[in-house]
Amino acid sequence: MKADTRTPAEIFGSPIRYLIPLFQRPYVWNRTDQWEPLWEDVRAVAEQLLTTKDTLYGGSPVPPHFLGAIVLEQQLTPTAFIPVRHVIDGQQRLTTLQILLDAAQLVAERHGLPIDGRALESLVLNDKDLAQRHDEIFKVWPTDRDQEAFRAVMDNEQEVPESLVGSSIASAHTYFVSQIIEWAQPEGDPDKCRSRITALTHAMRSYLRLVVIDLEPGDNAQVIFETLNHRGTPLLAADLIKNMVFQLAAGQNEDLRSLYEQYWKPFDSNHWRRDVRQGRLYRPYVDIFINYWLTMRLLRDVPADRVFSEFREHIRTTQLPAWEVMRDLADDADVYAGLEHLPWESAQGTFYYRVISVMEASVVGPFLLWILRWPPERISPEQRIKALRSMESWLVRRMLCKLTTKNYNRIVVELLRELDRHGPEKAGDVTESYLAKSTATAGSWPADKEVIEAIRAIRVYKDLTRGRLRMVLEALEDLARGKWAEHEHCPRGRLTIEHVMPQNWEEHWSINPSDHGARQSRSHLVQTLGNLTLANERLNPKLSNRPWTDLETETLGLTDSGPVVGKRSLLQQHSTLKLNAEIVVANPAVWTDKAIVDRSATLAQRIIQIWPRPATP
């Protein structure tokens, strides 16, 4: 391995092609973190050159600016062909530098001296007569996803197509052009503008420095790549994994382009690379998937910061061909990506909505992936549904009983081992029996009596998040509708939670002011499940703190633009929910503390029906 400090003129000045292999990550640099700081640095060098005597003609005291390092791997090329280097590391830096050079060339051609335009053009384009194919005129050639945008922005004769304008590469080019024009001020003094462009050209050609690390035969490119990008890097774990498996595939003489197109290409999309919430943190979607995949495959907990190292060890110990690893990843990725599009009416869709989306129990992600990855020939619909419903019941019951979640990682891994031991054919039976066998508080599946007591006692409005409480009420509404309803499921995630007796009950819901115990009891009861229901966003404000009946509303003189009606009439006239219909029918004259207690007991019985638990032996 040889390391030398080079200027852009030395790196790009002769015919050369720097190819970014398809297994490298796409272009991800952005304005705030990279483009602006780079432009500020380059501009500062150019301004120093402008103010230093004889700078442009040698002997300048202006120090060069260091841009970082790139790692290159020489490729064998036939005689008379343009030499080729693979960019092992530093492709973001090299691509950005080419975009900046081209942006400066564009401005120089339009507003500067011809010599400056030609000097910059020689750093971005090879001689057309030397190119065997059109794209060989480019000195840097990005990975597949970015090639179309790169080709478009480097063509200064044509406008960038509208479909590519929003790409990171096109945005970078637009930014640099606008900044150079603003700095050069072509609308002002033409001589001053040309002088600035000359200084900028000289700064970029000769006063920038990169450390170029050329790998020699026998150097391990993957090890060097990992070392340079160890901890604290913006690279995703998936980027490191991609580089590793494609380096492995290259060593196994595989067709890299075919493997990329068939298995890996989707992982480079914005959909897979986007950050999604996992608990209180945000992580790349693809890294979360690989984390789940490894946990499922290795049958042990894989910390988020060890995804790459654990994957590398998995490859080392299994000795699987690279194509087989990529195939398995791609197959399970299709399952994982499909989770967001599961039909809500299905058991799988219901589980994903309630457990993953609402309860944010991402810890069971590996379990869900394991259950859904098997084809119908290996796991029957009955066993699949039984497994999901058992896990959902275990989680919801523990949530309602306010039990700890701190051992869920261990429990899920142990369950995966049991499932792996017995196979997918018995997945439902194994899941149910495993979750039911624990009697310790850390992993128990609360019995009916525990759930009923908890529901009647706890202030669910205060103790559960709004999303989780709404999910429970939605499930109760679904049960009330039954299978023969026109709309079996109520709208998910869109309704608001309404207190039947308002939280500020003192305003219109009388009680003996001197009875301190009764006041305390009521303030507790209004937050329990029996006093809660659902309403749409338009109806919720109208219900507000109103009394229960029309007569009470009229007696208190509560008027508005519409008829004088109480909360009961509003629910009766404007709500289509079965939960509200039951309340209206059962309480025609008054809504009392006893009604709340009785309804809590009724709903508790329904909850243990929705989320059943096998009988304790």
Q: Is residue 565 very low, low, confident or very high in pLDDT (cuts 50, 70, 90)?
A: confident
pLDDT 10s digits, 68-95: 888 888 887 776 688 999 998 889 999 9
DSSP of 523-572: HHHTTSGGGEEEE-TTHHHHHTT--SSHHHHHHTT---SS----HHHHHH
Q: For 287-303, what is each residue's pLDDT tens digit?
A: 999 999 999 999 988 88
pLDDT in the model for residue 220:
56
Cα→Cα distances 535→134, 470, 576, Å:
63, 10, 9
**What is the pLDDT, as a whole number, of residue 228?**
53
| Residue 56 pLDDT greater than 80, yes or no | no
- Minimum mean pLDDT range among 12-26, 229-243, 314-328, 564-578: 229-243
Query: Does position 67 have pLDDT exceeding 70, yes or no?
Result: yes
* pLDDT of 455 strictly over 60: yes
Average pLDDT over residues 463-472: 94
Cα separation, 531 vs 313, whole angstroms: 54
Which two structure tokens, joined as six digits, stand for 492?
A: 């998910």
Cβ neighbourhood burial of 223 (10 Å; 0-12, 13-18, 19+): exposed
Residue 232 has pLDDT above 70, yes or no: no
Q: What percent of the chain has pLDDT over 70?
A: 90
How confident is the model at residue 222, as a pLDDT?
Answer: 55
pLDDT at 1: 57
pLDDT one-digit tens code per residue, 407-442 = 899 999 999 999 999 999 999 999 999 999 987 778
Distances (CA, A) of 548 to 207, 491, 511, 555: 79, 26, 14, 12
Domain boundaries, the chain: 2-228, 237-446, 451-610
Q: Does the pLDDT at position 101 exceed 70? A: yes
What's the pLDDT tens digit per position in 475-499?
A: 999 999 876 555 667 888 889 998 9
Q: What is the pLDDT of residue 570?
A: 84
Long-range CB contacts (within 8 A, 24+) of 341-347: 344/489, 344/492, 345/488, 345/489, 347/384, 347/385, 347/388, 347/389
Going by pLDDT thresholds of 50, 70 and 90, the confidence category of residue 231 is very low
What was the pLDDT predicted at 148? 94
**pLDDT beyond 60 at 35:** yes
User: Strands, DSSP E only, in 196-280?
Assistant: 208-215, 275-278
pLDDT at 230 over 50: no
Tell me how far apart the alpha carbons of residues 585 and 95 are, in angstroms, rounded to a whole number.
70
State residue 105's pLDDT score: 96
The whole-number average pLDDT for the span 121-134 is 87
Residue type, position 312, single letter? R
Tokens read off for 293: 């995949």
Q: What is the pLDDT of residue 555?
A: 73
395 compared with 481, residue with greater pLDDT: 395
Q: Model confidence over 339-368: pLDDT tens digits? A: 888 887 889 999 999 999 999 999 999 999
Q: What is the SS3 assignment for 356?
A: helix
CB atoms within 10 A of CB 37: 11
